[in-house]
Structure 1
Amino acid sequence: MALTLDLSTPESRAALSPAAVPEKKPLIGLTREELAEALLTVGVPERQARMRVRQLWHWLYVRGVSDFTQMFNISKDLRAALDETFTIARPEIVEEQISEDGTRKWLMRFPPRGAGRPVEVETVYIPEEGRGTLCISSQVGCTLTCSFCHTGTQKMVRNLTSGEILDQLLVARDRLGDFPDADTPDGAIVPAEGRKVTNIVMMGMGEPLYNFENVKKALLVASDGDGLSLSKRRITLSTSGVVPEIYRTGEEIGVMLAISLHAVRDDLRNELVPINKKYPLKELLDACRAYPGLSNARRITFEYVMLKGVNDSLEDARELVRLLKGIPAKINLIPFNPWPGSAYECSDWEQIEEFADVVNRAGYASPIRTPRGRDILAACGQLKSASERMKKTERLALEAMMIAGHGE
């Protein structure tokens, strides 16, 4: 028999709310204080909460478990209570691609939140001699529409939670055998000694500083000395220039800063990085000069994508040096990574080297970033997923299906 539901008014939708089907709450990404509060809700006595938090923290972030049954020093009853209310499960890996240079790209699918649909993000692992860098996404899609960036062609869907940001790191460590007693996949290109993931960069999909609170929580957990224990000197947050949040990043998170610069004149940067219309170069560079902890030992990295005939002249190089005067800085020159439909070409290699020579002679380190993972669209500026924001009609239809018992 067909089922007809009247969802034409807010009242009727509220009366038939899918909230009656409880969702398990994720524990990944919670602060210690939030974790303690969560434990109280499942009957853990307040006097035991701190000890239980230490146990959970160790299992989640030192041992890397994703199933409560593996937490052997926690009673069976408490594990069952935790499993009934909370989840520590990893997101689904939809696809794993491995480049000929050893770069790995994962397409991860996160479950729906509320009446939304599942969303997907891309995360990239870049192995190098002596280190392994994980490029993490902070949003599904992006609002910034930078003209040279593939992610910018995907409309903003939503922010990732602190847990979803951390999940990318946990999945990578799972897949690379980077937790205790885990095996590295045969043939994987990884650092010869020590950790497989030594560095993380917030340079994936999205603008991290438009998701400040969730990024902050995730990075503070990632750098916690009793858990994942990544040095803040090995965590870099890259922003296109959200000026009001730059100082907060240094003050409240304390990680290394990278700026997606890409142009030395406001008119061109307005085109390449449209946020420049709101926060022009002078405001951006003033914020960089005021970055907490800035020194020769804690330099700001300026990222500069090399676009043929657009921003790669030697005059541009000299103006770049002038703009950055007085800022302890490193300048990463990034050969443009093409993507389907892009309107730009990569600068000629000879031109990139001449540009770098001008910058080097002025006293700035100016490495030319070796393109990695181009064959699997995993290089800088190439990340994108197929996730789209759910339309109102689709959302109402999903609610109806959930109420009818045909969905989750």
Structure 2
Amino acid sequence: MRFQPSKPSLYGMSPDQLVAFLKPAGFPAFRAKQILDWLYRKRVASFKEMTNLPTALIEWLDLNACMSPNSVLLVKKASDVTEKLLLEGEDKSLVETVLIRYPQRGVGSESSRKTICVSSQVGCAYGCKFCASGLAGWKRDLTDAEIIAQFIHVARIEQERDASRPDQSVPFDNIVFMGMGEPLANYDNVVNAIRTLNAEWGLHFGARRITVSTSGLVPQIHKLADEPIQFRLALSLHGATNEVRQKIMPINKRYPLEELIPAVQAFSDKHGRMLTLEFILIDSVNDSFEQAHKLAQIAQSLHAHVNIIPYNRVEGLPWKRPNINRQMAFSKILKEARISHTVRKEKGHDIDAACGQLRLQTEKQRQA
């Protein structure tokens, strides 16, 4: 389903596109640069705050464009200072954005390293058996403006908390496209959002601190490899053999490991960046020692880092996380194989931070 907003958002427009948007109304080209500065450097919430624009232009923008294509409906903060934003689009669609803080030794939590996890679709069509994002199915793709707005909302919230922060600084350290939806199924909008994030006229955020996660869409991975921006790729593997992966990831039937691994290798060869293999560890599903050994072989062949993620329980799904001893034993096998890996510490459990949970809860409340 293609969503058509009532007014175009300026987020995602390049300088040339913004000049072309303003030109029929008779506004000079230099106004585009001023507007972009207000959007991405000062991150204002309304056109009226763009104080160096003439009144006629502000009024014209109010009539013909929208500032933000979505709004913050709810903010939930966990005891570990993980934070989840629930955003509502013009059509009442709900998506989630998560801000994850990683405390650094000797540094307060508000100043710790921050990663923002953004959504690319409303729901998901790929039906991974362990994920809440696809429980209600796929509704539509997010526009590039709706993707970009997620960063702006988080930046404004962080700026309000720390008034001493310079306007032009970006208040997060890493970006991951690992929220609701399959990013590569919304390829054009995701890539355009990344261009805007990376551009000097945009957020000017370093591409090497941007990671795109995929469940394994092989043709799009090959296409992504040809993109010139040097962002990172993460593969949601979650099963080290076809037999195990197909139990929890239907996409594997279409693109089995024999096709997927070479595609990921091709991306790595062209971009020269270390890959990340995401592996959600589920009790009695993929936590066997055989899976650990197979995973080590794949990681070694790809020279990849493995991110082990103990399963974060989702209401309505039967899966559970392995106990801590099983997690440690699984990790030990990777360590003995000299595989770079981390066991992710659970974040945001008390606010149901796993993708899609807050959205589902809110939609159920609306229906009730």
The alignment status of 1:69 with 2:52, answered yes or no, reads no
* Corresponding residue for residue 191 of structure 2: 216
Q: Is the 8 A contact 1:260 1:302 kept in 2?
A: yes
Structure 2 matches for 1:354-365, cutoff 5 A?
354-365=329-340
CA distance in 2, matches of 1:223, 1:135: 16
Secondary structure (helix, strand or coil) at the match of 1:153 reads coil
Q: Is the 8 A contact 1:249 1:255 kept in 2?
A: no
The alignment status of 1:169 with 2:145, answered yes or no, reads no
Larger radius of gyration: 1
Q: Is the 8 A contact 1:123 1:137 kept in 2?
A: yes
Q: Is the 8 A contact 1:299 1:328 kept in 2?
A: yes
CA distance in 2, matches of 1:338, 1:30: 39
* Corresponding residue for residue 13 of structure 1: none
Cα deviation for residue 292 of structure 1 reads: 5.1
* Corresponding residue for residue 109 of structure 2: none
CA distance in 1, matches of 2:301, 2:233: 16
Cα deviation for residue 289 of structure 1 reads: 0.9
State TM-score, norm by structure 1: 0.80
Q: Is the 8 A contact 1:205 1:383 kept in 2?
A: no
Cα deviation for residue 364 of structure 1 reads: 1.7
CA distance in 2, matches of 1:234, 1:71: 30
Structure 2 matches for 1:257-296, cutoff 5 A?
257-291=233-267
Cα deviation for residue 196 of structure 1 reads: 2.6
Q: Is the 8 A contact 1:106 1:124 kept in 2?
A: yes
Deviations 1:220-268 (A, max 9, x none): 1011123311111111110000111112223224311000000011122
Cα deviation for residue 379 of structure 1 reads: 3.2
CA distance in 2, matches of 1:322, 1:328: 10
Structure 2 matches for 1:196-207, cutoff 5 A?
196-207=171-182
Q: Is the 8 A contact 1:131 1:196 kept in 2?
A: no
Cα deviation for residue 25 of structure 1 reads: 2.0
Deviations 1:328-362 (A, max 9, x none): 21000000000111111101111111111211222
* Corresponding residue for residue 39 of structure 1: 22
CA distance in 2, matches of 1:121, 1:352: 31
* Corresponding residue for residue 321 of structure 2: 346
* Corresponding residue for residue 108 of structure 2: none
Instruction: Report the AA paired with residue 74 of structure 1.
Output: L
Q: Is the 8 A contact 2:9 2:69 kept in 1?
A: no
The farther-off stretch of 102-111 and 122-131 is 122-131
* Corresponding residue for residue 142 of structure 1: 124
Q: Is the 8 A contact 1:201 1:237 kept in 2?
A: yes
The alignment status of 1:237 with 2:220, answered yes or no, reads no
**Cα RMSD between the aligned structures?**
2.2
Cα deviation for residue 95 of structure 1 reads: 1.2
The alignment status of 1:153 with 2:128, answered yes or no, reads no
Q: Is the 8 A contact 1:141 1:384 kept in 2?
A: no
CA distance in 2, matches of 1:168, 1:339: 24
Secondary structure (helix, strand or coil) at the match of 1:227 reads coil
Cα deviation for residue 294 of structure 1 reads: 5.5
Secondary structure (helix, strand or coil) at the match of 1:175 reads helix
Secondary structure (helix, strand or coil) at the match of 1:157 reads strand
Aligned residues: 347
The alignment status of 1:24 with 2:24, answered yes or no, reads no
Instruction: Report the AA paired with residue 83 of structure 2.
Output: R
* Corresponding residue for residue 58 of structure 1: 37
CA distance in 1, matches of 2:334, 2:153: 38
Instruction: Report the AA paired with residue 245 of structure 2.
Output: R
Cα deviation for residue 323 of structure 1 reads: 2.4
* Corresponding residue for residue 402 of structure 1: none
Q: Is the 8 A contact 1:241 1:284 kept in 2?
A: yes
Give the percent of matched residue pairs that are identical in Structure 1 and Structure 2: 35
Deviations 1:130-188 (A, max 9, x none): 421111000001001110111121211100000000111111111111xxxx4439xxx
Of 300, 316, 331, the match for 2:275: 300
State TM-score, norm by structure 2: 0.89
Instruction: Report the AA paired with residue 26 of structure 1.
Output: S
Q: Is the 8 A contact 1:251 1:292 kept in 2?
A: no
Secondary structure (helix, strand or coil) at the match of 1:34 reads helix
Q: Is the 8 A contact 2:132 2:355 kept in 1?
A: no
Instruction: Report the AA paired with residue 36 of structure 1.
Output: V
Cα deviation for residue 127 of structure 1 reads: 1.0
Cα deviation for residue 293 of structure 1 reads: 5.2
CA distance in 2, matches of 1:90, 1:174: 15
Q: Is the 8 A contact 1:61 1:228 kept in 2?
A: yes
Q: From the superposition, tell whether residues 157 and 380 of structure 1 become closer, same or farther in structure 2 (CA, over 3 Å).
A: closer
